[in-house]
Chains A and B, each alone.
Chain A
Amino acid sequence: MEFERLEAPYLAPTANVAGIMQQVLLALVPAAIAHVWFFGPGLVFNLVVAATACVGGEALMMRLRGRPAVSALSDYSALVTAALLAFALPSLTPWWITATAALFAIIVAKHLYGGLGFNIFNPAMAGYVAVLVAFPMQLNLWVAPRMGDIDYQFLTVLQTLKYTLTGSLPDMLTYDQVSRATPLDAMKTGLNDMRTPAEIRSLPVMGDFGGVGWEWIGNLIAIGGFWLMIRKVIRWHIPLGVGAGLLIPAGLMWLLSPGTEPSPGFHMFSGAAMLCAFFIATDPVSAAASPKGRFVYGAGIGFLIYAIRTWGADVDGVAYAVLIMNMAVPAIDRITRPRIVGHARNARAP
């Protein structure tokens, strides 16, 4: 009997890229629900716009590169970028800003570098920084969370949709009534005004340890992240690195001078720090290669987040921290190459 020849191994592979991306999206769902509960339906509209722009941009770029579009779209990575952008952007964002961020992320940060697997920078963060620099006013408009403040007006679904499509609020409302400074923003301005963290924490936008709403979202992101770790979709080195890099300096400074430093818990549960630790920094393509390298990479991001928040101009610092460490990845890879079995223990990598 005659047979067809194959290449070893002859067992089915155990994983696939689409499956990994789908699990990442699944892990974000609880946090997304909390986000919608606290901050309104803006996230959903942002997601729709971002997803459309990401998928459309990817299809366009694959066509321009002469490749079949379906081979890129079927790995779901564009949707993951869209989801991270939707989380990073304020929930009240006009559609053109979201679309710009998404298109920049997919076209410039991903496909102009060669597509999936070849991008040096995290596409979502690159897209976010692009619109942060181009539309600074609109990206400072953060909806206030559901917190029972009588001066505050929660927008309805239709009003949110109208804002997303036109960028204008309903006639009776002003920006002040709809938005509030984020916890991080409030903390930064308050500290600049020489108020103590304890005083700042009495603002209604602050919750038990982070900000109202952001605590819930942070916890659910962490739960999603741990689920991904159990499923071996991500490994523990980067989240632990980010956590250590952020919490150790923050903790030290807070212990030394609690009157002028927010607590490490505040840092971890505010802004996109938790999202960064489990979902943004863990993007495998732009992260370091070896386990030790990944820990160093995560620690660098964590420390940069702390540094930018404390001494830099940006309020959150996550996006810049990630992009700066992306640049350092080739150097980190060279320095943290694992020792090959059978090679001398103190041999330096050439």
Chain B
Amino acid sequence: MLTAVLILTVIALIAGLGLGFAARKLPADSSELVERVNELLPQTQCAQCGYPGCRPYAAAIVEDGAAINLCPPGGNDTVRRLADLLGRSEAPPLATGPAAPAVAVIDESLCIGCTYCRAACPVDAIVGAHQLMHTVIEQECTGCELCVAPCPVDCISMRAT
């Protein structure tokens, strides 16, 4: 019986060492995983997670081990789906609370046509030309709020949908 125990222990040791070696030295194809993580993110491109866009955040999750609960527009659902995809056992609650869905609205009586907000929008949802009226295309607005700050006359507000 002792031989049986010894043999099994040796097999387990070899297998464990082999797996550890493979996990460290053999590179995993991370670019495909980044793509899959990116697909789960809501593509709001709002940078509330601290990264300049959803794909950089996805890359940070896969390659730098960034926390998966930093995306307010995704809500707790996205945290759960990310945990499932990455094989993590726990899905921590959102670091900040979930974002209520909202769209930006430009007050046309105040707009001076400076184009600052148009440049700031990550999905080009604001149309307008220099010194002409600007407006937000409601269907394309993701509610990221990046346009609110640059406006010099404070004419952009968020309206809950």
Asked if chains A and B are in direct contact (CB within 8 A), the reply is no
- B residues whose Cβ falls under 8 Å from a Cβ of A: none
